[in-house]
Amino acid sequence: MIGVTSKTTNARTLASDRGAFTAIDLFAGAGGLSEGLREAGFNSLYANEIVRRYSETYALNHPETVIDHRDIRAVDAKEVRQHLGVVRGELDLIAGGPPCQGFSINAPVRSNDDDRNHLFRDYLRFVDEFYPRAVLIENVPGLVSFEGGMTLQAILTELGNHGYQSEVRILYAPHYGVPQTRWRTIIIGLREGQAIHAFPVPAYEAPIRVNFTSSFDGRNIVALPGEVELPRFISVKDAIDDLPELTNGEAGEEIKQYRTLPQNNFQKAMRVASKGVVNHEAAKLSKINLDRLSHIPPGGNWTDIPMDLLPKGMQRARRSDHTKRYGRVNPDGMASTILTKCDPHWGAYFHYSQDRAFTVREAARIQTFPDTFHFTGSRVEQYEQVGNAVPPLLAAAIGHSLVAVIGAGQRDLKKAI
């Protein structure tokens, strides 16, 4: 009946069997958000993702979840709820977010004519039908400034109209153990007038550079650490240094052995239940890029490359511009935001000690996907899935905060009864 799988499930049974909270994931991608929520105690009953390859990766890694790859605009939310055996009001969480291209500060054109900008209304159809205890919407920081904040205000207003008190924060992924400079706008709504105290508190310190609108409704919405001493951020070397060495263009065995024993708690966590390293093959750099790379030290970038080796456009650029392009990442620092391809022309995606670009597995580690999470499709498709994902550790931090709030609400309800 639904998408890739045809299993029938029941929210009460799964929650009881696993001791888990229940959720559904819309605009699910390859499953980064669900992966983190699972770590926090949420069992994803259903996921909708229109891109077939993404939904196949999701299904491979979440075999217990009903996967639906139909266009969400054509999906009957009531049919889904009944198929899952969920009573209205029983579900704990609806999570997800509309495609970010129409909102992104990096997009060349941001137009209100882009139909993708209105897909949150289909998200709200599911909210109406399921009436969950909480809702979670994630997007890019550019959502805050899009159309002067009117799109964000419309989302908050609509959530209020549908029975949810909601709030918004911009979260910095390194504050939650993610070794890259990635920001996400997070909207959380709680039903029945519950106060919003569901945003996670930063657990790590990290240097911050804000290059987007960070105020909304007259106040700063960037979540910052409190006045406490926190451990230092997770570095790139902390994240990937135990993975096998590769030469430029090397594929090797499909499943590889780790280079070392786990060197820190991050690597231990990523390797839980792993039987080896997959999705770890080095793309082949061209000779000109290898020549460029030979001049770049760890932490360096295009300004270290001799002028005659630079692309024509970069030869005309100011030395202070594009500081991440053709970057060899600083092993003791954080990575550039992982995009949909580790193209050195767009960021610091050269390995700090090996003469090649990051592999899919290294990009996935930097996104904090566990090593047991396997990506399907071509290497290009795998990079896209990784780059478009919500970092699971960021999702887990949000999930743990939601569990505390939802669990407290359930306990209060039992006391009242």
The residues that are catalytic are: 100
Say which residue the tokens 């240094």 belong to. 241
Identity of the amino acid at 102: G
Best CA proximity match to 332, nearest among 357, 354, 360, 352:
352
Question: How many Å apart are CA 175 and CA 201, to the nearest integer?
Answer: 8
For 377-394, b where at least 16 C-beta lie within 10 A, e where not — what string?
A: bebebbbbbbbbbbbbbb
Neighbours of 218 (CB within 10 A): 5
Segment (H or E) for 403: helix 392-416
Neighbours of 169 (CB within 10 A): 20
Q: Provide the H-helix boundaries in 19-163.
A: 32-40, 52-61, 77-84, 120-130, 150-161
The pairing of strands 66-68 and 134-139 is unpaired
Tell me how far the alpha carbon of residue 251 is from its chain's centroid.
Answer: 27
* Pair 211, 367: CB distance under 8 Å: no
| Those residues with Cβ within 8 angstroms of residue 310's Cβ, 6 or more apart along the chain or in another chain | 292, 302
Contacts by 380-384, CB closer than 8 A, 24 or more apart: 380/341, 381/53, 382/279, 383/340, 383/341, 383/342, 384/340, 384/341
Question: 137 forms bridges with which residues in the sheet?
Answer: 96, 187
Q: How far are the Cα atoms of 171, 175, 179, 243 from residue 232, in angstroms, in the given order?
A: 17, 9, 11, 22
